[in-house]
A and B are shown apart, each in its own frame.
Chain A
Amino acid sequence: MFKSLRVRLAQGNQAIADVRTAKPVGFRGLPTIAAGACATGCTACVEICPTAAIRLEPLSIDLGRCTFCNECVEVCPEHKLALTPQPRMGATTREGLILEAEGRTTIRANEGLARVFKRSLKLRQVSAGGCNGCELELNATANVNFDLQRFGIEWVASPRHADALVISGPLTRTMRDAVRLAWDAMPEPRFVVAVGACAISGGLYDGARGVERGFLEEAIPALYVPGCPPHPLTFVNAVLDLLGVA
């Protein structure tokens, strides 16, 4: 009894008071791209990028491919690129993840989804080739720090209870049927959330031998949450933005 009380006392209140403005110290999040043309012929960032996330003329980063590894920032001779501690990013369309100079991603609330799910959203997560990075961070959204439940959003065990299917990993061929089964078991209205570079674009495993991404071509995600893995704050904020929660 006293031991439990000591634990409770040491624990205090660990919740992040305002998840909408929190910026984790030291985190590599939303990139910034300085305006202006690059030195002629320089392709250092494009060459170093492990996931082909960078395009030139104009310089852009595809957050759906980016692993936030910082390599491009380090090789750019003009210091045009930087990764900021801003965890808030994401998009409702694939094109919305392509970031250009002085740009940022914005998630426009989906009025249809907001009307139904704003006060109660149940999520069923399925990992299909996820490395346990995304899975750990998604689990963390429900811990005492991020406390997703305070917004009426919960992880559930059965797809029958779920409103959204949250997919991590590049989608393996061996999980193809299981993902389809989970989706088919969900009652409508329902939607898909793609979490992490792997789920959004294949990421580091785009085109790899065991990957088959057909499901996501049929069930187009309503929300894309970038990162490798995404910070819990990135996920929480993206979902709140989608539902138009202030």
Chain B
Amino acid sequence: MIAQASPISEIEMLPTKEWAAKVVERAHAGLRPVTLYGRRDDAGVVLTVVHQDAARLQVSRTTVDPARGYHELTSSVPALHCFERELHEQLGVRVAGHPWLKPVRFEGGDQAAMATYPFYRVDGKEVHEVAVGPIHAGVIEPGSFRFMCFGEHVIHLEIQLGYQHRGVEARLLDRDPKKLAPWCETIAGDTTIAHTWAYAAAIERLAGHQLDPQHELARAVMLELERIAMHLAGLSGLAADLGFLPGASTYGRLRTTAINTSMRLCGSRFGRSAIRAGGSGVVLDDELRDVVRANLALLRHDGAIMDECFEAARSVRHRLIGVGTVSTELAAQLGLVGMAARSAGVAIDARTGGVYDRHALASCTRPTGDCWARAQLRIAEITASLDWLDGVVAEPVTFHKARGVVAALAPSQLAIAVVEGWRGEVVHCVETGPAGELLHYKVQDPSLRNWMGLALAVRGNEISDFPICNKSFDLSYCGNDL
């Protein structure tokens, strides 16, 4: 977890041309862009770019006149493509020369354009299109996929999202900033802990709140339980899509054990109410520690039997190996994050420092970037999280509930928090105004950046392999659509 707050007056503010040059320069120096977003103010639109330099975040800003805009950076730094599309869509900033300004989620006035949006077309007598969605053939969130195919062969996939747009960011701005946890828990309901931790960490930095270390550790415990549960859910879904029923049912029931462990600690299978700004809803005493230990042992024992069967099955290997590949180079270029990046050999992981100093958490990578790598990575990450949790509960650690109480937020500050959710880094940027009021709240789910990875991964594959490619990325629709 990385979180920091700084007075806005101390943030580097550059003329737009210099700012843009710096963004490109930092990319060439190997610094990774974490986010780029805009906020409207009297002088135009303030653009904020954040780069990661080891465990530190570097922030640079500029102000642009939205009508004049600036020249796109996506061609030099492709990882910025989704952010520039969002800037154009949310704030009407002209991004001159951008190769593809398709709306990220068709917010507000753009919604009418959704039904008639011109998808890319591939010409050719025998090329045909397959349209899927927004409602899919399962109990799953909506999104639209358009395939350009030659026979069974996918030439191109264009993804259209926005069907889940509720208006989360606007809602966060019209509520008491200290009490936003219930909304943050549902930004992406399968990533409750990561989003709520990022929110709480940002607010605590703004309030100058020193969190009791036991609560910090409790958050990390809940985060790893969430990771184990969702990796098991993903493996179960993947096995179901492969028609490998032992995997579908066994990974499914192991997930029940994982989420029921979360429920024992905080009363909810999804970690709802586990985190409050300045507080905690997690309880761990001697009795519960024994329950957690027993459940971890069961997950490890039965999980290992299942993993061995899954990884050795020829029907599984045949369907996953070499399918839906993203190369290491492409993953880095696109700015993929989290497990999609790590399974393509790009080692990005925000789980460093703080609570992770005492108990080290192994970060896993796989080099090949195919569906097999993403499945194997999830199996490896479950084991790594179990190891870490075992280390925590081996000691007589206890967690107590505490009501969330934080002081007034400091005026004119920008807080940024990055938490490594099970899909990848969750980023919350929170800015206060001169009276300590909430000025801006930017939410970023890892899915925003990883959807393009899926679109490119299916190129050259059979269309029948799309469900397993999709499931192997396991991205959030509502996290993207907000």
Contact = CB atoms under 8 A, between A and B. Distances in A.
A210 interface: yes
Given A145-B253, A211-B167, A229 B189 contact: yes
B142 A178 contact: yes
Contact of B166 (A172, A178, A228): A172
Assign chain B's interface to a size class.
35 or more
A129 interface: yes
A7 B165 contact: no
Contact of A6 (B253, B309, B313, B477): B309
A140 B252 CA distance: 8
A96 interface: no
A169 B140 CA distance: 11
B475 to A, nearest CB: 11
Contacts of A50: 179, 182-183
B138 interface: yes
B199 to A, nearest CB: 14
Contacts of A181: 135
Contacts of B269: 27, 137, 231
Interface string B305-320: 1101100110000000
Contact of A28 (B134, B135, B163, B268): B268
Contacts of B444: none
B293 to A, nearest CB: 16
Contacts of B250: 7, 10-11
A69 B272 contact: yes
B167 A209 contact: yes
A25 B190 CA distance: 21
B246 A136 contact: no
B190 A136 contact: yes
Contacts of B166: 129, 169-170, 172, 205, 208-211
B272 A3 contact: no
B170 interface: yes
B477 to A, nearest CB: 8
Contacts of B272: 67-69, 228
B141 A132 contact: yes
B260 interface: yes
A14 B236 CA distance: 15
Interface string B395-438: 00000000100000000000000000000000000000000000
A208 B403 contact: no
B256 A140 contact: yes
B264 A10 contact: no
Contacts of A68: 268, 272
B368 interface: no
Contacts of A175: 134, 142, 163-164
A105 interface: no
A179 to B, nearest CB: 8
Nearest to A206: B171
Interface stretch (B79-87, B106-114, B374-382): B106-114
Contacts of B350: none
A204 B179 CA distance: 12
Contact of B162 (A174, A182, A231): A174
B273 interface: yes
A145 B478 contact: no
A111 interface: no
Interface in A159-178: 169-170, 172-175, 177-178
B187 interface: yes
Contact of B139 (A11, A28, A139): A139
Interface in A38-55: 50-51
Interface string B248-269: 0110110010001001110111
Given A127-B140, A144-B253, A145-B256, A174 B302 contact: no
Contact of A172 (B108, B165, B183): B165
A211 B233 CA distance: 29
B267 A130 contact: no
Interface string B132-147: 0011011111100000
Given A128-B142, A204-B186, A24 B305 contact: no
A74 B164 CA distance: 33
Nearest to A179: B135
A157 B142 contact: no
B312 A3 contact: yes
A129 B139 contact: no
Interface residues of A, number: 63
B252 to A, nearest CB: 4
A10 B188 contact: no
Interface string A1-34: 0011011101100100000000011111000000
Contact of B264 (A26, A132, A158): A26
A61 to B, nearest CB: 16
Contacts of A143: 236, 249, 252-253, 256
Contacts of A204: 171, 182-183, 186
A208 B163 contact: no
B37 interface: no
Interface in A224-243: 228-229, 231
B187 to A, nearest CB: 7
Contact of A208 (B135, B171, B233): B171
Contacts of A220: none
Contacts of B478: 129-132
Interface string B105-139: 01110010011000000000000000000110111
B335 interface: no
B345 interface: no
A68 B266 CA distance: 12
Contact of B249 (A67, A135, A144): A144
B189 A10 contact: no
A211 B189 CA distance: 17
B264 A6 contact: no
27 contacts: A4-B246, A8-B246, A10-B250, A10-B306, A24-B260, A50-B179, A67-B182, A67-B272, A68-B272, A126-B135, A127-B164, A128-B163, A129-B165, A130-B164, A131-B187, A132-B190, A132-B476, A133-B189, A134-B189, A136-B190, A140-B252, A157-B138, A172-B163, A175-B134, A204-B186, A209-B170, A210-B166
Interface of B: 106-108, 111, 114-115, 134-135, 137-142, 162-168, 170-171, 179, 182-183, 186-190, 192, 233, 236, 246, 249-250, 252-253, 256, 260, 263-265, 267-270, 272-273, 281, 301-302, 305-306, 308-309, 312-313, 403, 476-478, 481
